[in-house]
Chains A and B, each alone.
Chain A
Amino acid sequence: MQWLINLGGQGRELIESLGRSGQFLFGALAGVPNIRVGFPLLVKQLYFVGVLSLAIIVVSGLFIGMVLGLQGYTILSDYGSEAAIGQMIALTLVRELGPVVTALLFAGRAGSALTAEIGLMKATEQLSSMEMMGVDPLRRVIAPRFWAGFLAMPVLAAIFSVVGIWGGMLVGVEWLGVFEGSFWGNMQSSVSFTSDVLNGVIKSVVFGFVCAWIAVYQGYDCVPTSAGISSATTKTVVFSSLAILGLDFVLTAVMFGDF
């Protein structure tokens, strides 16, 4: 019977945690934002969360595009259709790899940093001191970090896809000699703005929301000790990755599933 009790306890904890995180997000985002104070804070966080993630996004996008070019060429050339390599790379990146890999990298680089930063602010009583100064840390600390993560993700995913396509072109066209006209022409005729590009953007918006929410909540809710911060940072990466992959399946089924 003990396992049943434990299972029930864990289920209750999960529901409590979901309720707390929802309440927490509402507290951070509800109310009229103060543009004069909030905008500079948002810009600062966009720099930390977005601009500083550019290096890993660009390098990863480049290599993934190059690998796609190489693998695509090897497979497609068996059927004599290597000219279709452009559309294969573009569709793979725009529909799937762009949003998903960007979100996974984002969770590892920016999400974990957000959690650790907020957790340390909590452990060093910076959040408490803010409260005691009459400043709500949910609005001052959490909200700009959440919005920065939410806004940066689609832009980073777009950059990832663009750089990936360029990397695929480098390998396919410049190295392996696929005709450049068919590379770009096939891509242009087969990639639809609404069903491919827009759906990819929707995915990255959803991933941005979830990753940013998980990261700021784990930081704010962590046990304010070194072990607590370490555990919260790990949870951010694990929960975000699982949420991204799970949601990706659901979104793909809804967007591209032909039932």
Chain B
Amino acid sequence: MPGQGMSVAVSVKKEPYIELKDVVFSREERRIFDGVSLNIPRGRITAIMGPSGTGKTTLLRLIGGQLKPDSGTIMVAGESVPNLGRKALYRLREKMGMLFQSGALFTDLNVFENVAFPIRVHTRLPDDMIRDIVLMKLEAVGLRGARDLMPAQLSGGMTRRVALARSIALDPELIMYDEPFTGQDPIAMGVLVKLIRDLNHSMGMTSVIVSHDVPESLSICHYACIVSDGQVIGDGTPDELRNHPSAKVQQFLKGEPDGPVPFHYPVVGADKDWGIAGGRQ
């Protein structure tokens, strides 16, 4: 079986910013990751793709220290995340930004205050300087004019752009995008693709995109890996992945309804359900 017990490292030319080695993680007796190893290069865009429910978001939470692995090592910027104390972990998180799938804006604060939040908490900058920084960040995502709106007044695409402005407010070294393209219309998707590419290009941030939107992710990433059944089943540059020999990788990339990942959920034989012979096992 491809990837069974195997450790695959993304071939990187640049030094890794994040290193996962033999990571095992289970939740309520279900094994989510079974020895995942992965290197995420500094200053590049890495896409982590895979079918829904394979634990892609869990992987981001492991990197961010919100969850602890059962075993294995997770190094971010040279620090072992699972072994960090509370203070050190919170200090490390100041170098990270994360764009949540829902945007996760604070509903009681307006757009301006949402973006200003991390700056106010972590710095003691005067108000006029905070104002300048917030407006610059909002300008970068094209929403300087929306500064006074409340989150409830924003469309889904705008919410994500404000959340993006907030996550880059402190110029983090690493930014993680959790399903940034899900549920977006084509224009909003195009805007997000452009923003992710531009931010990586202009600020040199290490970017990790977790997504199952194959064309968008492959169009902007430098490296990609596909996670399925707790394993990394394929990795490489977008071109290497497109020519990957694994049938499972090809099924995922081409969106085929049946293949190594079966169309049917495991089920008892049809003969038992309908009383006919030769049912599916």
By a beta-carbon cutoff of 8 Å, the part of chain A in contact with chain B is 37, 124-126, 128-129, 131-136
Contact = CB atoms under 8 A, between A and B. Distances in A.
Contacts of B94: 133-134
A131 B100 contact: no
A125 B122 CA distance: 20
B104 A131 contact: no
A123 B218 CA distance: 30
Q: Main secondary structure on chain B at its contact with chain A? A: mixed
Interface in B131-145: none
A131 B121 contact: no
A145 to B, nearest CB: 13
A37 B104 CA distance: 22
Given A132-B64, A132-B98, A134-B122, A126 B93 contact: no
Contact of B104 (A128, A134, A136): A128
A201 to B, nearest CB: 32
A58 B178 CA distance: 48
A37 B117 CA distance: 12
Contacts of A126: 104-107
B117 A128 contact: no
Q: Most chain-B CB neighbours within 10 Å: which of A37, A125, A132, A135?
A: A132
B66 interface: yes
Given A134-B91, A134-B94, A129 B104 contact: yes
Given A125-B104, A133-B94, 13 more contacts: A37-B121, A124-B102, A125-B102, A128-B100, A129-B98, A131-B66, A133-B117, A134-B90, A134-B93, A134-B122, A135-B118, A136-B86, A136-B90
Interface of B: 61, 64, 66, 86, 90-91, 93-94, 96-98, 100-102, 104-107, 117-118, 121-122, 163
Q: Most chain-B CB neighbours within 10 Å: which of A125, A128, A129, A131?
A: A129
30 contacts: A37-B121, A124-B104, A124-B107, A125-B100, A125-B101, A125-B102, A125-B104, A126-B105, A126-B107, A128-B66, A128-B100, A128-B104, A129-B98, A131-B64, A131-B66, A132-B93, A132-B96, A133-B93, A133-B117, A133-B118, A133-B121, A134-B93, A134-B94, A134-B118, A134-B121, A135-B90, A135-B118, A135-B121, A136-B86, A136-B90
A126 B163 CA distance: 11
Given A124-B102, A125-B100, A132 B107 contact: no
Contacts of B64: 131-132
A69 B66 CA distance: 57
A217 B97 CA distance: 27
A220 B91 CA distance: 23
Contacts of A129: 98, 100, 104, 163
Contacts of A135: 90, 118, 121
A124 B152 CA distance: 13
Contacts of B86: 136
Q: Most chain-B CB neighbours within 10 Å: which of A37, A124, A133, A135?
A: A133
B124 to A, nearest CB: 9
Given A124-B102, A124-B104, A124-B107, A132 B66 contact: yes
B27 to A, nearest CB: 14
A37 B66 CA distance: 24
A214 to B, nearest CB: 23
Contacts of B118: 133-135
A133 B106 CA distance: 13
B110 to A, nearest CB: 15
A125 B107 CA distance: 11
Contacts of A132: 64, 66, 93, 96-98
B108 to A, nearest CB: 9
Q: Most chain-B CB neighbours within 10 Å: which of A125, A131, A134?
A: A134
A133 B64 CA distance: 10
A129 B163 CA distance: 10
A135 B104 CA distance: 14
A182 to B, nearest CB: 52
Contacts of B122: 134
A175 to B, nearest CB: 45
B111 to A, nearest CB: 15
B88 to A, nearest CB: 11
A126 B100 CA distance: 9
